[in-house]
Structure 1
Amino acid sequence: MYYQTNNQIPPPQTNYPSLNQHEFQSQIPQPSAPATDFSNPSLHYQPQMNTGLPFNLGDSPIQVTCPNCRANVVTYVIPQSGLFTWLLAGALCFFGFCLIPFFVDACKDVEHFCPNCKLTVGKKKKL
C-alpha cells in the first residue's frame, strides 16, 4: 500500500496540445446552407408549418403529435359547458326545459387532452 509522506499532491499531467483561438475556431465544424436550385422559376417551395395540431378539432378523439411531449397520441376529450350551452339553456327556459343542454354533450364545448402529459392540446368551441 502506498502512503504519501508529505501533504503535497502532484499536479495532473496533461499532454493536450495548446491551441490559440484561431486554430480552435478552425476545428469547429461550421453549418452550411443546403444547395438550392433557382434555375426553374415555375417550381416554388413552400415550407409546411407542422404544429401537430389539426385546424378542425372535432367532438371525438383524434390522432395528433403532442406539442409538449412530442408523442404521437390519440387525444381524450372532456365536454365542458360553454357559452352555447348557457345560451341554449336560457332560450329553453321559456319552455321549461332549461337544464337539458347541460346533460347533452353535443351542446357542450370539447377540450382535447394528451393522455401522456395531460396537456390541453386544443379546444373546440360551439360558438
Structure 2
Amino acid sequence: MHVESGAIVNQGAYAELRVQSETVNFQDPPPPYTPPVEGPTVTSQPIIHQTIILQVPLRSNPVYYTCDSCHERVYTKVKYVNSRKTHLLAGFICGFTCWCLICCLGAIPYLVKSFKKAEHYCPNCDKLLGTYSKI
C-alpha cells in the first residue's frame, strides 16, 4: 500500500505516516506604540487638603471643642448650675420626706454635680458653647 501526501505508506511490517510540510508566512508584528511628542501639555491639578474636625458630644466633664466665636480649639470651662429639674427633684424629695421630719434631704440635688446642668464655656472669649444635663 502506497499513498502520497499525508497518507499512510505500508511497506512490509512497518507502517509509516508521511505528512506534506507547508510553509506558513506570518506577518510582521505591528510597530510599538509611542505617544505623540507634540500636542497639548498636561498639567497636574492642585491638591486640596481639607481638615474636618468632628465635635464630640458635650458631657459633664470638660472636653476639647472648637469655639464658634473665636474659632480656636479649646478645652472647655464647665460651670454647674441649678436647672428646673434640680428644683423639681429637690421639691419632690422634700415633699416625700416631710412626714418623717427629714426634709433636709431635699438639699441633696443642690450639693451633687450630677443633678445640675453643666454649661460649657470657651476659656478665651467666655462664650457659651453648649449645655449637658444627666437628668
- 2:26 match: none
> Does the residue aligned with 1:99 lie in a helix, a strand or coil?
helix
Unaligned runs of 5+ in 2: 1-44, 46-51, 98-102
Q: Is the 8 A contact 2:119 2:131 kept in 1?
A: yes
| 8 Å CA contact retained: 1:84, 1:126 | no
Higher strand share: 2
Question: What residue identity is the alignment partner of 2:129?
Answer: V
- Which position in structure 1 is the counterpart of 2:61? 60
Aligned residue number for residue 103 of structure 1: 111
Match of 2:120 in 1: 112
CA deviations on 1:69-112 (whole Å, 9 max, x unpaired) are 00110001000101221121011102111111111111000000
For the Cα contact (< 8 Å) 1:57–1:123, is it kept in 2?
yes
The amino acid that maps onto 2:127 is: L
Q: What letter matches 2:88 in structure 1?
A: L
Cα distance between partner residues in 2 of 1:101 and 1:81: 9
2:133 is aligned to 125
3-state SS of the aligned residue for 1:102? helix
Deviations 1:17-70 (A, max 9, x none): xxxxxxxxxxxxxxxxx9xxxxxxxxxxxxxx86x643x210000001110000
Larger Rg: 2
What CA distance in whole angstroms lies between the structure 2 residues aligned with 1:64 and 1:57? 9
Say how many residue pairs are matched. Answer: 80
Alignment identity in percent? 35
Gaps of 5+ in 1: 1-33, 35-48
| TM superposition shift of 1:119 | 0.3
Give, in whole Å, the separation in 2 of the partners of 1:53 and 1:113: 15
The residue type equivalent to 1:114 in the other structure is C
Which contiguous aligned blocks of 4+ residues in structure 1 show a shift greater than 4 angstroms?
none
Contact 1:59 1:124 in 2 (8 A): yes
